[in-house]
Amino acid sequence: MLNYPELKVDRRKLLALTGMTPQEFEQVLAAFSHAWDRLYPLDQTVDGQPRQRFAGGGRQGSLPCPEQKLLFILVYLKTYPLQVVLGELFGLSQSQANHWIHRLLPVLRAALDDLGALPERDPTHVANSRTAPGAGPRLIIDGTDRRRQRPKNPEKQAAHYSGKKKTHCDKNLVLLDMDSDRIEFLSRTYPGKTHDKKMADQEPIAYPPETELHKDTGFQGYEPAGRKTCQAKKKATRREPHSC
């Protein structure tokens, strides 16, 4: 079973499972604990009703401390395993894993919001985001793929199948600030078949003034008005001379 005291001394494994170094984990942990206390006060039950007995009574669960709770939800988001697999990793049943996922996601969101780490979700507010304003921000626009279970409905299968990735997935559009390494914007979710440029066309992104936008060939033809764009070019394939 995974537990934080063992993982925190193995930086490489913790990074692989959560996407965070021990220092980053500890930073998020402090905000996560405060968000937990704010969303789930000790004098109330999970349903928000007044507690009839002191907190801490009864059998201890498999996620008794904030460290284990944060580790659980980060492993889920980083590796995205089946709930049965996630339950096996933390000594939970599938139904318990499902319960904790839905209970901890709002806590993590609140913690990241307190740390100022959440990306903007409204494309019209990108220009007014926390770190975007400035003299000539350098941004990278790209599409991300997230694997999902194969839909049973034939129409959904076709919509979510990515021929490029050869799998069923969901897609999002992201903007990365090259100077701060911060995700400035995260779009709504699109089916895996959606082309990167089509997502960009459907998201009315308001870029800061004098933005330098870097893109790949998936955004060929995407030229926001008044913005300087830089597109990487594919290296020409070297052809071997034919032998006579």
Query: pLDDT at position 55, please?
Result: 65
| Whether the predicted pLDDT of 134 surpasses 90 | no
| Whether the predicted pLDDT of 237 surpasses 90 | no
What is the enclosing helix (H) or strand (E) of 7?
Answer: helix 4-7
CA atoms of 73 and 18, how far apart (whole Å): 9
Contacts of 197 (CB under 8 A, 6+ apart): 218, 219, 220, 221, 222
**Which of 213, 227, 176 lies closest to 187, judged by CA?**
176
- Look at the chain and count its residues: 244
pTM summary value: 0.75
Distance from first CA to last CA of the chain, Å, rounded?
64
What ranges do the domains of the chain cover? 4-50+64-114, 123-231
Q: What is the mean pLDDT of residues 8-19?
A: 94
